[in-house]
Amino acid sequence: MKSEEFDVVRQSLGGISRRDFLKFCSIMAVGMGLPLSAGMKIAEAIVSPRRPPVIWLSFSECTGCVESLLRSNHPSLEHLILDLISLDYSETLSAAAGHQAEAAKNASIMENKGKFILVVDGAVPTKDNGIYCKIAGNTALEILNSTAPHAAAIVAMGSCSSWGGIAAAAPNPTGAKGVPEILTGKTVITIPGCPPNPYNLLTTILHYVTFKKLPELDQLGRPKFAYSRLIHENCERRPHFDAGRFATQFGDELHRKGACLYKLGCKGPETHANCSTLTFGETGAGTWPVGIGHPCFGCTEKGVGFSTPLHTLAVIKDFTPPTFFTEAFPNKEGLPSGLKSLATGTAGIVIGAAGAAMLTGLGKSDKSTQDTHSSGSGTDRSKEE
């Protein structure tokens, strides 16, 4: 990487040192499941003078996915859209409106055929030829079918775009569908969540920009670096599940002490995502549904979120032991010391885009972990109770 190229990036990153920048890129590589040596390729991609153009389409959605992106700080939104990518069209974030916005979108598509990344959030109504969602006189179905063929990569951002989400929940009056169901025969990267963690999108885009190919995907099109393991496997309440300690009512003693929420309908045992290891919204560890005492809804799993009643028991799937075992009960600060180690070892790596700045302030494990019973025995106990 040439020094003059780095100087440009240095200014945009607020004077970050060359060493910290390369460290940031190396951590990003690890978060993608790549060797540290791939960090140099990521660095070269970031300093490239040609930013990848992105067209962001929003259909039947609540804007939660865009709001989630607005909350990312590593990189910040302005650094993302001004320095790393070229966000050529977004209804929510565009300064232009009406005919000007549509003209900008069409111009970008024509100029960047086969080169731009198409991001779609929101489900696509298909009933009655899709008349239940129209933009600039065209239905969402028409816009998607006319734009997708020209994209280099297609990303479905959020559960609605991935497989219909809440818009497609029964009785689904608009015939809403996810993007993969409409663009049959095309590879669509799905990043489900309601909303999804923005770093799952940022890392996916950076992987594509760096290596000119998609990250490894599972059978549902989800990037494996983010959706390969069940939430339950690294949940901070996992030791309670293994030991058979379950909250049975909101506000009861075990619920207040942080016991497992399985009997309250937590879908973590059947939901693949990195919610339990990747901090959300830049608000610190524990700020996710299970962390604040509410069962996982299963929004990243097709056929679970928006399909299964919230408080019904989850289907226990096969799962491996957690990466780290946390303490049985939280300390007075509400954060198990073992969880601090989990946040450092897992969230700090996957969130990678924080670079060196994200590594500071993360806690250290100060106590041996407890309750290392096998997951199998915990499952048997939960069924018995």
- Per-residue pLDDT of 142-180, as tens digits, reads 999 999 999 999 999 999 999 999 999 999 999 999 999
Q: Are residues 107 and 59 both part of a single domain? A: yes
What tokens appear for 86 in the block? 């070229």
Length, in residues, of the chain? 385
Mean of pLDDT values over 16-45: 66
Q: Are residues 218 and 86 both part of a single domain? A: yes
CA dihedral over 301, 185, 108, 39, signed as positive or negative: positive
Mean of pLDDT values over 1-20: 56
| DSSP class per residue in 35-81 | -GGGHHHHHHHHT-SSPPEEEEEE-BS-SHHHHHHHT-BTTBHHHII
Rounded to the nearest integer, the mean pLDDT of the chain is 77
SS3 of 322, please?
A: coil
Q: Are residues 89 and 189 both part of a single domain? A: yes
Q: Are residues 148 and 297 both part of a single domain? A: no
Q: Are residues 221 and 103 both part of a single domain? A: yes
Q: Are residues 35 and 110 both part of a single domain? A: no
Q: Are residues 204 and 299 both part of a single domain? A: no
pLDDT digits (tens, 9 = 90+) for 338-371: 444 333 333 333 334 333 333 333 333 333 333 3
Number of domains present in the structure of the chain: 3
Domain that holds residue 202: 50-226
Examine the fold and report which residue of 194, 226, 258 is the final residue of a domain before the chain moves on.
Answer: 226
Q: What pLDDT was estimated at residue 137?
A: 92
User: Within 10 Å of residue 303's Cβ, how many Cβ atoms?
Assistant: 10
pLDDT digits (tens, 9 = 90+) for 287-333: 889 988 999 999 999 999 999 988 899 988 766 666 655 555 655 45
Q: Are residues 56 and 199 both part of a single domain? A: yes
**Least confident residue range of 46-50, 112-116, 227-231:** 46-50
Instruction: Give CA–CA dist 378/193, Å, rounded.
Output: 27
Largest CA distance in the chain: 65
Q: Are residues 39 and 140 both part of a single domain? A: no
Whole-model pTM: value is 0.70
CB 92 within 8 A of CB 59: no
